[in-house]
A = this chain, B = another copy of it.
Amino acid sequence: MKLTILFGGASFEHEISIVSAITVKEKLSSFDLSFIFCDADHTFYLIDSSKMKATTFSKGEYKKMPQLSLSNGAFTQKSMFSTVEHKNTVLNLIHGADGEDGSIAALLKFFSIDFIGPRVDASVFSYDKRYTKYLCEARNIKSVAYEVLSAGEHKEINTPYPIIVKPSCLGSSIGVSIVKNESELDYALDTAFEYDNSLLVEPFIEGVKEYNLAGCMVNGEIIFSIVEEPQKEEFLDFEKKYMDFSRSEQVLGADISEELEAKLKAAFTKVYSNLFEGAIIRCDFFVVNNEVLLNEINPIPGSMANYLFADFTSLVKDLVSSLPKTSRVKVSYDYIHSISSAKGK
């Protein structure tokens, strides 16, 4: 089965997308894989499989490889005398901006290229944590209480300390701080506002139980991963998460009751159906007083959360065969014709 891994992007998570792509390459070695890299200038390059190592990108060697442009149904490689079309299904593995904000989803949809990954609407509801809260409210999914701060706004924070401060639109813990008291607040806000004009403030719940659950819809049914209890210190900072993106060894399921597992799956289903169709997502939950709270949706998790699935290869194969199809609207000129003929033209 053919599959194209699309990675890179003009994103703070550009490097971890490269790490993810290298990891997924190993995990999906039974596929006929090709690799398309989106650089920081939004130019696409076809990367030879043998060059899929970090230094190809950090040293700029990719710039010598063939450039691709988007056209109807394909990434196209044009040279003086020939045009080669790359029409495979794409696995969108661009973390953060571009990949998760709906841009790549819209491009691939617009040019009728099938892809694994969140669609435009799903991207908006997961990329911006404010809109994840909107989704929770509308779908009756419990989540942590929050306040929104906007740049340049002078607003009292009502959440009691300790609090956690997050840029609205970044993943991988970038710009996130735990603030234990007011003396630490200004620094945390400055840090977070460097990344975004909008922040979320939430209570920091000490010693909270965390569980991650991944899954995707295949032929109308959600296939779940095991439930993982992630190892953690206070929270994973960028460097630790970075290493996390190269994970490929399957982990053991968390030792939890059937009741809790059912609750986690029910919450996942409320988030997923049918907004995230076409994507393998990971939901990160908190459990507080036996209540499941959604913390975050990762619509393109690091290395596609492969380590949570017993048979990741089969999962991806099944998903490729059941991707949502978008039929393009047929255009008619009935009204213009009728008006023109009424005018006698």
Q: Which residues of A are interface residues toward B (Cβ below 8 A)?
A: 10-12, 14-16, 18, 39-43, 54-55, 57-58, 69-72, 97-98, 101-107, 109-112, 120-121, 123-125, 128, 131, 133-135, 137-138, 239, 242, 328-337, 339-340, 345
Contacts and interface: CB of A to CB of B under 8 A. Distances in A.
Given A137-B138, A138-B137, A329-B10, A103 B109 contact: yes
Contact of A131 (B121, B242, B336, B345): B121
Nearest to A274: B150
Nearest to A97: B329
A128 B137 contact: no
A54 B331 contact: no
A324 to B, nearest CB: 10
Contacts of A337: 58
A12 B106 contact: no
Given A110-B98, A133-B138, A135-B134, A10 B331 contact: yes
Contacts of A336: 15, 18, 54-55, 57-58
A134 B138 contact: yes
A98 B120 CA distance: 11
B111 A42 contact: yes
Interface centre among A43, A70, A106 (most CB of B within 10 A): A106
A120 B120 CA distance: 8
Interface centre among A14, A69, A135, A335 (most CB of B within 10 A): A335
B239 A335 contact: yes
B97 A40 contact: no
Determine the main DSSP class of A at the interface with B.
helix
Contacts of A55: 336, 340, 345
Contacts of A10: 328-329, 331
A31 to B, nearest CB: 25
Contact of A340 (B54, B101, B111, B332): B54
Contacts of A57: 333, 336
A242 B332 CA distance: 14
A120 B133 contact: no
A40 B124 CA distance: 26
Nearest to A111: B42
A266 to B, nearest CB: 19
B11 A339 contact: no
Contacts of A41: 72
A328 B40 contact: yes
Nearest to A123: B120
Contacts of A133: 138
